Structure formats: C-alpha cells, structure tokens
Amino acid sequence: MRVTVDQERCIGSGMCVLAVGEVFDQREEDGVVRLLREDVPDELRDRVRRAAAVCPSRAITVRRDAEAQAG
Ligand code: SF4
C-alpha cells in the first residue's frame, strides 16, 4: 500500500499524526503534514486508512500497490 499527501490542501489539524505517527508528522513552522514514508507496512494499513478517513481536508490519498504502479 502506498500513501501520498497533498501539502497544499493540508490545514495542519494533526489528525493523521494522532492516528499513525509512524507515517505522518507535521512541519514545525506551520503544522503542515510531512510524510515520513510512502510505503505502508501491513501492520499500519488500517491506521493509515483511518488517518485518510479522518483528515478534514482530504489531503491523504491511499492506493494499493498495483494502483500505485499503474500510476
Ligand atoms: S489530518 Fe489532513 S489536514 Fe490534518 S495534518 Fe494530516 S494531512 Fe493535514
């Protein structure tokens, strides 16, 4: 599973960091999301999906590996 973030859309609410701090962080200066890793290990999948679901600005996109390879 692959995850991407749209920093232009992010409003810095930090919900994703609360959901899965292993994958998301926030920039110190403005709170905008920072992606720590694009590839999501199996054990974090559910939490990353939850992070995408709770993101108020829909800035998080989750794709299966096959979709990511297809572009
Ligand atoms: S939950 Fe969404 S809006 Fe909030 S910090 Fe994460 S990416 Fe940005």
- Residue 71: pLDDT band (50, 70, 90) is low
Contact by Cβ (8 Å): 60, 51: yes
Cα separation, 18 vs 22, whole angstroms: 10
For residue 56 and ligand 1, the question of a CB distance below 6 A is answered with: yes
Q: Is the CB of 13 under 6 A from ligand 1?
A: yes
Give residue 1's pLDDT.
Answer: 95
The answer to whether the CB of 49 is under 6 A from ligand 1 is no
Question: Does the beta carbon of 20 sit less than 6 angstroms from any atom of ligand 1?
Answer: no
Helix, strand, or coil (residue 57): coil
* C-alpha span between 29 and 11 (Å, rounded): 13
> How much distance in Å is there from the Cα of 34 to the middle of ligand 1?
9
The backbone torsions φ and ψ at residue 33, rounded to the nearest 5 degrees and listed phi first, read: -60, 145
Tens of pLDDT, residues 10-65: 999 999 999 999 999 999 999 999 999 999 999 999 999 999 999 999 999 999 88
